[in-house]
Amino acid sequence: MSLKIYHVTNETNPFTGKTIVGDFIKNYSIIYNENKVDIRLFIPKYGYISDRKNILREVIRLQDIPVNYLNGEIHSSVKSSFIPDSRVQTYFLEQPEMFDKIDQKSVLKHVLPKSLRNKYLDSFMYFSVASLNTLKYLYWKPDRIISNNWYSAIIPILLKNNHYDNAWFKGTKTILLLSSDQPFYSFSKEILKSFKIPECKFDISDPIEYLKAAIYYSEGVTFLKVKGKNYLQELLEDKDISKLIKGMGDSYKEINLESVEEKEFLLKTAKEYYTYLEKI
């Protein structure tokens, strides 16, 4: 029986723009879908993503999804489309106050200027919590949840700290996907409090502690090596993080994305990655 995979990502081509990691996510998803693997993507509906151009459709049961915030709730809807020339189901979280003002240049650049940082952090905490809440409205339970970098690395922390109904997510395993081209930010204490995120054994308002927690609570970690500057090198060399990764053994996997345009490489890598996900 094939796995059901839910990839909660800040980027995927062609919807968010062309990046190496976005290409990889698009291509491996298409390969899995063509081989009858039920893989679905969950991304933000940034303001520059056109409903008409991308043929986004409303989903009746994915309307008015609540997320706890301060002393009340924020509600949003989720729209659906497919990666072009494929049947890869892609869900778009629509919340204008959170995502409409995030432009494509900011999405593709990854390095957040201080002027945008709080807005991004707030938006992606909301995104991560909503990605989990959406599953129950969808009536679909994945076997594997893949979270992308700092944007959704909070997911394994939430699932392993009784923030969600354990019966619903029983058997669901989380994989943290990190890429060398992206820094690792953390959420402020104010944001954690606003979204009622429970305390755990790590201070996740600190980047090192946040990454440490995400690794600790994940069943697997994948590191994508992208040509250029390695923003994560210093964090990954932290003594405690290095020890955690070493302790994961075969649950830690590195993928070199230099040959992402080559079909043979993609097919081989996708097959190896699926075998890895099965064994987690």
**What count of other Cβ atoms lies within 10 Å of the Cβ of residue 243?**
10
pLDDT computed for residue 261 by the predictor: 67
Number of neighbouring beta carbons within 10 Å of residue 20:
18
221-248 pLDDT, tens digit each: 999 999 888 999 999 999 999 999 999 9
Q: Residue 187: CB partners within 8 Å, gap ≥ 6?
A: 121, 125, 154, 197, 204, 205, 210
Q: Give the integer Cα–Cα distance in Å for 62 and 94.
A: 10
Number of domains in the chain: 1
Q: Other C-beta atoms within 10 Å of 264: how many?
A: 8
For position 106, what pLDDT does the model report?
86
The 10s digit of each residue's pLDDT in 22-33 is 999 999 999 999
- What gap in Å lies between CA 244 and CA 92, rounded to an integer? 33
Domain limits for position 249: 4-279
Q: 138 near 8, Cβ under 8 Å?
A: no
Please report, for the domain that includes residue 111, its CATH number.
Answer: 3.40.50.2000
AA identity, residue 214: A
Q: What is the model's pLDDT at position 1? A: 59
Predicted confidence (pLDDT) per residue in 142-196, tens digit: 999 999 999 999 999 999 886 666 778 889 999 999 999 999 999 999 999 999 8
- Angle 44-131-63 from CA coordinates, rounded to 5°: 80
Q: How many residues are there in the chain? A: 280
Asked if 15 and 43 count as a contact pair (C-beta separation under 8 A), the reply is: yes
pLDDT digits (tens, 9 = 90+) for 100-113: 988 898 888 888 88
Residue owning tokens 């390695």: 230
Taking phi over 0 as left and psi of -120 to 50 as alpha, with beta for the rest, 70 belongs to: left
